[in-house]
Amino acid sequence: MWSRMRMTLDPGIVALFGSETRAKVLGFLADVREPKTGYAVAGAIEVKPPKVYGELKRLAKGGILELVADPGGPARYRLGAGPLREFVVRRVRITTFGEWFSRPRRQARDRLLEEARSLRVVLPRSEADRASVPNPSEFQRPRGKALALRRIGSDPRRRVRGRP
């Protein structure tokens, strides 16, 4: 059984958008593929529908959300593509179980994983000149200490598998 986690938002995001409900509405609508009804939004963000409907109407009236009218059906809302959506997706993304595990989402993640597997990073070799290191003696272990550590089995350079 999947348990629900309490949603906590960054206080800066809440301050930026003016209310926690507004931030959650935008965070949810930024990540959905299909326009959603107010009832679906309320269920996903766990806020009572009257509060959500007020925010949806306010944001649609202000031109922030697109209202998709369905003849004879309920109004559906979405956050259009653009800088606001990109910002919200990076900072407040809220998604549902069904959306996250939908076939297109899984296929997109699989493609990204395949691309990531083919990446190879070549680290540059250090060609540091010993003369350029100030106080090189600070980085060298005295011979007597190295011998003593080996004798008691604590030399990290000589660790045996399975031994501390």
State residue 1's pLDDT score: 40
Domain ranges of the chain: 11-104
- Spell out the SS3 assignment of 90-143: HHHCCCCHHHHCCHHHHHHHHHHHHHHHCCCCCCCCCCCCHHHCCCHHHHCCCH
pLDDT digits (tens, 9 = 90+) for 119-163: 888 877 666 666 677 777 777 778 888 788 888 876 555 555 554
Please tell us whether the domain made up of 11-104 is placed in CATH 2.60.40.10: no
Q: Binning pLDDT at 50, 70 and 90, where does residue 3 land?
A: very low
Give the position of tokens 């000149």. 129
pLDDT for res 5: 57
Q: Is the pTM of this model over 0.75?
A: no
**What pLDDT, on a 0 to 100 scale, did the predictor assign at position 48?**
94
d(CA 104, CA 111): 11
Length of the chain: 164
Averaged pLDDT for residues 71-77: 89
Rounded Cα–Cα distance for residues 29 and 40 (Å): 10
- Residue 72's pLDDT band, with cuts at 50, 70 and 90, is confident
**For range 113-120, the mean pLDDT:** 91
Its sign, for the CA torsion 46, 52, 55, 57, is: positive
